Amino acid sequence: MLNKKVEKALQAQIQKEGFSSNLYLSMASWAETKGMAGIAAWFYAQAEEENEHMLKIIRFVNERGGHAIVPAFEQPQKEFDSVRGVFELSLEHERKVTASINEIVGICLEEKDYSTFNWIQWFVSEQIEEEASVTAIIDKLNLIGDGPLYVFDNFIMSMRGGH
């Protein structure tokens, strides 16, 4: 049976993962309307991944005897200042998600819910990967400076295998 404090924290995480998916959809749409197909494809793939994370948590809560409630999601911003800005916002957002996952880990330990603690480790590893991925992209943007975005857009498409 799922611990009630843990269930409450996971419920909050469902909302965060769903919002993340919508935020990345908004970023993808913005990039696509600016003619940046590679960047759009990268963010569309990120949106799908965040949706999968949300579903994974919903299924876990339900399987463990809880009841996952699908929340309403705040509308994400729809305009962004620059390519660099959109990726910096993405990194900032991933760091918030990492902090939230870490809070759940702490609650699991406090409540001695070791099965959820074990399960949540997948998300701990995933967040390390998410932050590293966005950081690598920002590093590439730093390398090209104010260089041609066309080259960067084609490069980033290859990072996700294109869509």
93 a known binding residue?
Answer: no
> What token pair was written down for 142?
């730093």
> What token pair was written down for 113?
């819910």
Letter string b/e over residues 2-37, b meaning 16 or more CB atoms within 10 A of that residue's CB: bbeebbebbbebbbbbbbbbbbbbbbbebbeeeebb
127 a known binding residue?
Answer: yes
63 a known binding residue?
Answer: no
17 a known binding residue?
Answer: yes
Detail the residues annotated as belonging to a binding site for Fe cation. 17, 50, 53, 94, 127
Detail the residues annotated as belonging to a binding site. 17, 50, 53, 94, 127
